[in-house]
Amino acid sequence: MMNFTTSICFILCLIITLLACKQEEAPACTYPHQITLDSGCYTGTGLIVTASDFGTSPSLFEWTIIALKDTTGASGWTPKDVKIVRSASEKFTIPDSLASNYQRVIVKAAATNCGDALKHSN
């Protein structure tokens, strides 16, 4: 009787565990929720940024890089600022000339192959 009760308890625990561990499916296409810097980057190779947490289907991204020359008192765009828009995979390399010669670099990424919509990062 004890083995039967133990077996039933084990089977019930196993079923509950399997039902509780059901993984949620990732959305097929969403915007990159995170953009990170490559920890191994150094002068001479550029600044490598990576988009992540974007679902399962986007394989192409539109990267927008805005390099601001002076952030002390200027508000808005100045003639010395640079804006680059390029299509690439989830990794993009910002040239050293922008990363080292500008005070601030703003990076945004948009998933471009999500049906008819662009899914922009925050």
HSE, side-chain direction, 13 A CA sphere, residue 115: 6
* DSSP label at residue 25: P
Which domains does the chain possess? 29-120 (2.60.40)
Residue-level pLDDT at 41:
62
Angstrom distance (rounded) from CA 87 to CA 62: 4
- Read off the pLDDT of residues 63-78 as tens digits, 9 standing for 90 and up: 999 888 877 765 667 7
Give the three-class secondary structure for 97. Answer: helix
| Res 1 pLDDT > 70 | no
| Maximum mean pLDDT: which of 12-16, 42-46, 102-106 | 102-106
Angle at 77 between CA 76 and CA 83, to 5 degrees: 135
Angstrom distance (rounded) from CA 43 to CA 100: 8
Predicted confidence band at 33 (pLDDT cuts at 50, 70, 90)?
confident
